[in-house]
Amino acid sequence: MTIHVGQDTAKTRKTLSAGDQKIAYYSIPAAQEAGLGDFTKLPAALKVVLENMLRFEDGKTVTVDDIKAFAEWAAKGGKNPREIAYRPARVLMQDFTGVPAVVDLAAMRDGLVALGGDADKINPLNPVDLVIDHSVMIDEFGNPRAFQMNVDREYERNIERYTFLKWGQKAFNNFRVVPPGTGICHQVNLEYLAQTIWSDKDQNGEEVAYPDTLVGTDSHTTMVNGMAVLGWGVGGIEAEAAMLGQPISMLIPEVVGFELTGKMIEGTTGTDLVLKVVEMLREKGVVGKFVEFYGDGLDSLPLADRATIANMAPEYGATCGFFPIDNETLRYMRTTGRDEDRIALVEAYARENGMWRDETYAPVYSDTLKLDMGTIVPAISGPKRPQDFIALTEAHTAFRDYVKGVRSGKDASAKEEVRWEGEGGQPEPREIPGDEGNHQRGYVATEDGNYQIHDGSIVIASITSCTNTSNPYVMIGAGLVARKARELGLTRKPWVKTSLAPGSQVVSAYLEAAGLQEDLDAIGFNLVGYGCTTCIGNSGPLEPAISKAINDYDLIGTSVLSGNRNFEGRISPDVRANYLASPPLVVAYALVGDMNVDLAGGVIGQDKDGNDVYLKDIWPSTQEIAELVEQTVTRESFQEKYADVFKGDEKWQSVETTDAKTYDWPPQSTYVQNPPYFQDMSPEPGKITNIENARVLAVLGDMITTDHISPAGSFKESTPAGQYLVERQVPVREFNSYGSRRGNHEVMMRGTFANIRIKNEMLDGVEGGYTKGPDGEQTSIFDAAMAWQEKDTPLVIFGGEQYGAGSSRDWAAKGTALLGVKAVIAESFERIHRSNLVGMGVIPFEFTNGDTRKTLGLTGEETVSISGLDTIKPLQEVPCEITMADGSKKEIKIKCRIDTAIEIEYIEHGGVLHYVLRDLAKDDAIAAE
């Protein structure tokens, strides 16, 4: 860390006493005394950003006027969108997004050498931690061998990627890798890496305390805000720039205050609370804003529940969901094994710098909303958006309404008579509770027996994701549901693929200490790995007979998971309806195996004596859960499991790599390839030019997520990506996933806009990555884009509201750019994807004056020209001429979403990394003179 002390902020540097420590820090009260403004009413989340301004004020990148703007923000009632340059303390990565980031850094070293620079200049200046958590797939499940077999398979599939990451760990400074099988990056961050208040030496060798802040290449980086660490997800492109010393250009955000009151009632969980919060905040509209939680409800809200709420900030659209420092923060730090000196520093710093929450905490907010936690009821969300909250009492009827909607206009009985093709004759049809003849049915023969599946059969039930597996209250709750079910003789239905993938090894430690892992194993929730698994689409294949029945008879297969994302096509290619639920409810749904069952009030099975069993019979009390958490979640278990967190197992230690400064790209690799971004790059940037006679690649609807644009899951042989691998003799079983192949631009270009559920409105009712080529015939988006590139024709995309929602994945922007798309015109953009597009040189535009793709009658046959770009200013409206298929013209105004002055430079350079690379090459050239 380098601190440039400005003339006006030098006097704000003070000394803090914390226990036996004396340490320098930048004082917000001192800044106020120095006449820089009244900061007393700022929310704690903004005080973290303000401290960053004080620490890095240099009169150039950060000025005194930037600091004073925060006082103006409070005076104006929580609004002052001034552009500022913010520098996070560190960067967090996971391997799906981390591999392409390290690929870019390696390619930048090659590019800098080609421009006459020194490869060593490409090094992270801020600490970077990369946690390998996204690669494990659930091939094996429901047995004691599952964990080891999945780990072995993970290494077989990913050894090229792991070799590359190990090279990066050696080659780059400030770069550490947490090996496979350790945990999920956000949970490792929360439980170990994060410190709430950080400390480091400045350029004079003096120790300085400051708030722990970060950006991460995963949207759920926000989880750590539950521990009062300000962090959010950015694309890999923006993260790489931050690593290399570029400040993050942002506007001072609005901060929405969310007041929590009351207490959670018996039978509800933190998951139920967060699903309601997601619904409320999506309805409120908080895209691009901070959300800060306050109120007396926090006094009884454990940090694990806070982290669950903070984790799902991308689902409610906010930049982050922040919880100020209080006594619960200190309690959690102590339980998770943080050093006592660190805990003392956190308390002393927070109290001195006005970041401590107590009964007097009453900041100014841009807007507020309120929730009484006593009104929370058990709930799920789905079938395809996290904000679609459904009370558990209404879940079965809501599902049937969904089925009717899907089947409307179709002959629901056309395939009602399903013929049995297995051996042993046709089994008797199983009665479906409340069946109204609207269910398509398929008979299945597996090792577990013969049975029927139909619309609503739950084929995946997964306890997965950092969102909930970081929370011992819901994990212990799930174990107790399993125990009570086991005692009564209940088990999972045979068609349900069950799995348990905790976010850290600590979870296994306390489940085993409580004796609950044995109960979970008994009903099929064996440990399958430590990683994201089902939540990111690595659910692994269903049994072939089940997959065949679903596809042959167009059944609406269903999943229930304790994750944070349930977008269409994300969880499994065989599953259409996906529901988010707490871990205890995931276990309960595995027992019934059917979304049509009234889980809240109906019979969920029979015990060993034939008596009806209801959910209340297996649901643990709050006291039962709390007692087991108190007994088994210990400081010692955290310290033990994180003692050698970077060491890894024998498999990781045996991975061999070189010590070279630049990477020797293996030409035969289908995982890691040198990307084309920096090849043959000119020393000087170009100018932004107008877009003339562009053709339309796709016309897309509302809520097009980054999963739609760049899917992470598996893909078939028939896809362009599949064909690319087949041509290189890669067998289908070795395809792995799009996410695992993000180090290979050839695969990822072919996977862009290739989600199986995406709908291009240029075509009638067609799902998947298709469009019309130059000849007007239907073809894949990749093939069409390449055909247009051969004609040297620029391309545009049209979209609806919330374009780019969801994950932070940079490949949604990289793929768009490599396909030759010059502009995306939508009704609105999600924050991260807009930034990523700019970072890759693609210009985002928003419709104005009520125009939309629908009001304009766009079909994709149009030609688009956008002028005014050669003199563009941030957020400027520019003319857009649309020539319709019949030759008529429409001229509209569109708003350019290049939001800041520095982003104009990024576009001129062709992207933020090109900007950084040329800047470093220029420095080397000056030094050589």
Say how far apart CA 274 and CA 265 lie, in whole Å: 14
Query: Has residue 420 got a pLDDT over 80?
Result: no
Structural domain contains residue 924: no
Average confidence score pLDDT of the chain: 90
Mean pLDDT confidence for 53-57? 94
Residue 444 CB partners (closer than 8 Å, separation 6+):
422, 450, 451, 452, 453, 495, 543, 545, 546, 549
Q: Which domain holds residue 24?
A: 10-86
Q: Give buried/exposed letters for 495-510 (b at 16+ CB in 10 A, else e).
A: bbbbbbbbbbbbbbbb
> 99 with 245, same domain?
yes
Q: Do the domain assignments include residue 720?
A: no
Q: CA distances (Å), 880 to each of 84, 330, 440, 788, in order?
A: 30, 55, 48, 21
- In this predicted structure, the answer to whether residue 410 has a pLDDT above a threshold of 70 is no
CB atoms closer than 10 angstroms to residue 893? 14
What mean pLDDT comes out for the span 695-713?
93
479 and 627 in a common domain: yes
Q: What pLDDT is attached to residue 3?
A: 47
* pLDDT for residue 240: 84
Residue 353's contacts (CB-CB under 8 Å, 6 or more residues apart) are 25, 27, 28, 29, 47, 51
Instruction: Report residue 486: phi and psi, to 5°.
Output: -60, -45
Which residues touch 483 (CB under 8 Å, ≥6 apart)? 516, 519
Q: Per residue in 295-322, pLDDT tens?
A: 999 999 999 999 999 999 999 989 999 9
Shared domain for 459 and 563, answered yes or no, is yes
Same domain, 73 and 97: no
223 and 327 co-located in one domain: yes
Shared domain check, 297 and 238: yes
pLDDT at 74 over 90: yes
Distances (CA, A) of 403 to 416, 448, 593: 15, 27, 17
Q: Is residue 643 part of a domain?
A: no
In angstroms, rounded to a whole number, what is the distance separating the alpha carbons of residues 634 and 334? 10
**How many other CB atoms are found less than 10 A from the CB of residue 407?**
17
Residue 307 and residue 179 in one domain:
yes
Pair 317, 385: CB distance under 8 Å: no
Q: What is the pLDDT of residues 327-352, one digit of tens each?
A: 999 999 999 999 999 999 999 999 99
How many angstroms separate the CA atoms of 340 and 345, rounded?
9
* Token digits of residue 281: 């905040």
Could you read off the pLDDT of 879-890 as tens digits, one per residue? 999 999 999 999
Q: What is the CATH number of the domain that holds 193?
A: 3.30.499.10
Picking from 401, 457, 407, the residue whose alpha carbon sits closest to that of residue 597 is 457
How confident is the model at residue 416, as a pLDDT?
Answer: 36
Are residues 70 and 127 located together in one domain of the fold? no
Residue 466 resides in a domain: yes
Is the CB of residue 308 less than 8 Å from the CB of residue 470?
yes
Does residue 735 form part of some domain? no
Verify that 395 and 342 share a domain, yes or no. Answer: no
Asked if residue 431 has pLDDT above 60, the reply is: no
Q: Of 837, 859, 881, which closes a domain?
A: 859
Of the candidates 622, 498, 511, the one whose C-alpha atom is nearest the C-alpha of residue 559 is 498
pLDDT band at 618 (very low <50, low <70, confident <90, very high): very high
Question: How confident is the model at residue 624, as a pLDDT?
Answer: 96
Residue with tokens 């700022």: 42
Give tens-digit pLDDT for 443-484. 787 777 788 899 999 999 999 888 888 899 999 999 999 999
Q: Is position 332 within any domain?
A: yes
Residue 889 lies in a domain: no
Domain count, the chain: 4
- Name the domain boundary from 637, 661, 685: 637
Per-residue pLDDT at 424 exceeds 70: no
392 and 474 part of one domain = yes
Whether residues 297 and 332 fall in one domain = yes
Model confidence pLDDT, tens digit, residues 498-557: 999 998 999 999 999 999 999 999 999 999 888 787 777 778 889 989 999 999 888 999
Residue 915 lies in a domain: no
Give 839-863 as a DSSP string: HTTPEEEEE-TT--TTTTT--S--E
Cα–Cα distance measured from residue 776 to residue 773, given in angstroms and rounded to the nearest whole number: 5
Angle between helices 303-311 and 327-335 (to 10 degrees): 100
Last residue of a domain, one of 859, 874, 898: 859
Stronger pLDDT, 45 or 715, i.e. the higher one: 45
Tokens of 649: 């197992």
Residue with tokens 């195996």: 593
- Interatomic CA distance for residues 734 and 688, integer angstroms: 42
Does 224 share its domain with 211? Answer: yes
Query: At 704, which CATH number?
Result: 3.20.19.10
Q: How far apart are CA 498 and CA 563, in angstroms?
A: 14
Rg (CA), the chain: 27
Q: How far apart are CA 591 and CA 484, in angstroms?
A: 12
pLDDT for 379: 96
